[in-house]
């Protein structure tokens, strides 16, 4: 199994896990781009947003709900935060396993790309 996120999900390699349920886990990004940088990841290996079927789309709502709760837990709800889903090469997706970034804890750039 070569997917790095599948390896974290299976426990083969460590991750600082902040949430897990039957469908989704969340752990801190190893190379944080903000004081709070958490990845929200479906357990199922779904490669990218562009690959999701209609039936798979609801996972995004679940991931967003977990991001919201994690932001509350990290104490950044009031200040604000950003969630990002990179998709494909030009979208900057490096790990080919669907994930949502939760970024916060500082004023984020207004650049969107
Ligand atoms: P993306 O560019 O959207 O594919 O983001 C992939 C993210 O995964 C990057 O922010 C990396 O820093 C992060 N990452 C890569 N390997 C690990 C790891 N072993 N543990 C936690 N985060 C990782």
Chain segment 48-107, per-residue pLDDT in tens: 999 999 999 999 999 999 999 999 999 999 999 999 999 999 999 999 999 999 999 999
Cβ of 40 closer than 6 Å to ligand 1, yes or no, is no
| pLDDT bucket at 112, cuts 50 / 70 / 90 | confident
Cα-to-centroid distance, 28 and ligand 1 (Å): 9
pLDDT over 80 at 44, yes or no: yes
Distance, CA of 19 to chain centre: 11
Cβ contacts of residue 22 below 8 Å, gap of 6+? 43
The CATH superfamily label for domain 4-104 reads HIT-like (3.30.428.10)
| 3-class DSSP assignment, residue 65 | helix
Active site residue 37: no
In the DSSP assignment, the letter for residue 27 is E
d(CA 51, CA 28): 25
Q: Which two tokens stand for residue 35?
A: 């004081």
């Amino acid at each position: 199994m070569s997917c790095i996120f599948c390896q974290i999900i299976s426990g083969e390699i460590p991750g600082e896990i902040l949430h897990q349920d039957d469908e989704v886990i969340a752990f801190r990004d190893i190379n944080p781009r903000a004081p709070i940088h958490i990845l929200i990841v479906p357990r199922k290996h779904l490669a990218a947003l562009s690959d999701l079927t209609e039936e798979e789309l609801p996972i995004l709502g679940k991931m967003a709900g977990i991001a919201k709760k994690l932001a509350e837990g990290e104490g950044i709800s009031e200040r604000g935060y950003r969630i990002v889903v990179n998709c494909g090469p030009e979208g900057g997706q490096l790990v080919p396993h669907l994930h949502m970034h939760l970024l916060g804890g500082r004023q984020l750039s207004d650049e969107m790309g």
